[in-house]
Structure formats: C-alpha cells, structure tokens
C-alpha cells in the first residue's frame, strides 16, 4: 500500500490561515489502512483545526467527507456539488489522491494534509515499513523475495556494502541489513548460487510512468 503520514499541525494551519470554510477529504484506501487519512483521521484533524482556530479568534468552518478512493475521478465527482460550497479542500489522500482531486475539481484549491512517504506493508508492531521502490524492473525472484532496492540504504543490487554492524544497517541501527536477510533466505531456499550472478545496473525511470490498457 501507499504509506503517508500527517503533516505537522503548524504547517497545515499555516496553509489554511487565509480561509474560513474548508472541506477535509479522506481516502478509504491505503491511507485508511495505515491510519493516516481515513474517515477517523478526518474527524480528528477537523476537530483539532476547529479548536485551534477558535482559540485564535478566527473560527474555521470545517466540512468532512471521505471517498472510496481519491485517485479515481469517478469517486471525486460524487462530492463536486458539496465541494463548491467551500473555499478550499484539505485532502488527506496520498499525493496521487491530492492531484486527482485538484485535477477533477479544477477551480477550487486542493491542499495536502499528508506527506506521502513510501510503498510498504505492516511491520507487525503497529507501524509500517518500506518494501517496494516501484523501480519497474523487479528482481525479487533473484533475492529471495527481499528487495534490496527498497530495503538497502544504497539500493545495492550486487551485494552489501561493508557497513553493517551486528546485522544492522550503518544508516539506521534499527534496520536489518537487507543483504544479510537475503543471504539467510537464499540459504534456506537452497538458492545461494543465484547471488553469485552479477546484476547489470538498472535503467533509470523516466517520469511520469504510464500503464496503458487496451480496450
């Protein structure tokens, strides 16, 4: 899923300071799962903003909405009429959601409430961890299902640097060295021989990428 986190409250308040009527929109997809931008977070943020602005003496009227998915114009169309009654929209979708909303609604400013940080999964401890870098050239078949592009601090594809200490990355002592994990997994799978093959450097991505579907 796409993982995002709520921006610092000061930054959000600064973005909204010139408005008096704002619609906060949540997204029912990835950011709901990672507890950053679902209906519940919309409610909490709306309440915090109302309280803060009331204390400042510049009350803010805040509407709340949550779409099934913000990255699809079809779902955004459903709030077109409601959105027209507000000065601005504060989206709690990921970067793709914010942009789709801004593009679809056109004449109303749409601001991000979240920082989109990575593609990942649950870490089993209530948090989330980056697992995929969307590089477009998947090598997981040769690395035991552990991605060194996303999980090695240097995205090395030919083996580790010499920097791991006690099994942990030199950049972050709480992160296991991806290449040590790969070695252990490949040993269990009886596939260590695959690690001896030299991996050619990947082709750089050209943005924006597209996925076309035939009719």
Partner 1 sequence: MGFREAVESGKFLITAEVGPGKGTDMEELLEDAQAVKDRIHAINVTDLQSSVMRLGSLAVSHILADRGIEPIYQLTCRDRNRLALQSDLLSAWVLGIQNVLALTGDNPVLGDHPDSKPVFDCDSVSLLKMIHTLNSGHDMAGNELKGVPDFFPGAVVNPGADAGAGLEMQLIKLEKKIEAGARFIQTQGVFELDSFEKFMKRVEGFNIPVMGGIIMLKSAGMAKFMNKNVAGISVPESQIKAMTDTDDKVKTSVEIASHLVKGMKEMCQGVHIMAIGWEKKIPMVLDEAGL
Give the binding site for partner 1 (CB under 8 A): 153-167, 170-171, 177, 179-184, 192, 195-196, 198-201, 204
Measured distance CA(116)–CA(6) in Å, rounded: 9
Nearer to partner 1, 69 or 185 (CB): 185
Q: How far is the CB of 190 from partner 1 (least distance, A)?
A: 15
Name the helix (H) or strand (E) containing 122. Answer: strand 114-122
Question: Could you give the maximum distance between any two Cα atoms of the chain, in Å?
Answer: 68
Write the DSSP assignment of 150-161 as a string of letters. HHSTT--SSS--
* Rounded CA separation 183/179 (Å): 6
Q: Is the dihedral of CA 208, 213, 214, 215 positive or negative?
A: negative
Please report how close the Cβ of residue 184 comes to partner 1 at its closest, in angstroms: 5
> Least distance (Å) from partner 1 to the CB of residue 134?
17
- State in angstroms the smallest separation of the CB of 34 from partner 1: 24
- Which residue, 131 or 156, is less far from partner 1 as judged by CB? 156
- Residue (19 or 179) nearer to partner 1, CB: 179
Q: Which is nearer to partner 1, 28 or 159 (CB)?
A: 159
């Amino acid at each position: 899923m796409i993982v995002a986190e709520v921006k610092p409250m000061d930054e959000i308040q600064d973005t909204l300071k010139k408005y008096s009527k704002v619609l906060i929109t949540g997204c029912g997809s990835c950011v709901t799962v990672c507890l950053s931008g679902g209906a519940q977070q919309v409610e909490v943020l709306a309440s915090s903003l109302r309280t803060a602005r009331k204390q400042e003496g510049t009350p803010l009227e805040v509407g709340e909405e949550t779409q099934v998915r913000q990255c699809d114009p079809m779902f955004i169309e459903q709030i077109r009429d409601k959105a027209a009654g507000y000065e601005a929209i504060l989206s709690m979708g990921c970067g793709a959601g914010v942009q789709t909303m801004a593009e679809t609604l056109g004449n109303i400013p749409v601001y991000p409430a979240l920082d989109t940080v990575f593609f990942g999964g649950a870490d089993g401890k209530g948090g989330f961890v980056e697992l995929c870098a969307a590089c477009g050239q998947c090598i997981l078949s040769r690395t035991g299902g552990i991605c060194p592009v996303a999980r090695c601090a240097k995205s090395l594809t030919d083996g580790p640097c010499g920097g791991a200490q006690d099994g942990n990355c030199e950049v972050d002592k709480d992160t296991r060295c991806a290449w040590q994990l790969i070695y252990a997994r490949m040993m269990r799978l009886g596939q260590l021989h695959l690690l001896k093959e030299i991996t050619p450097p990947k082709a750089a991505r050209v943005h924006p990428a597209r996925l076309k579907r035939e009719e």
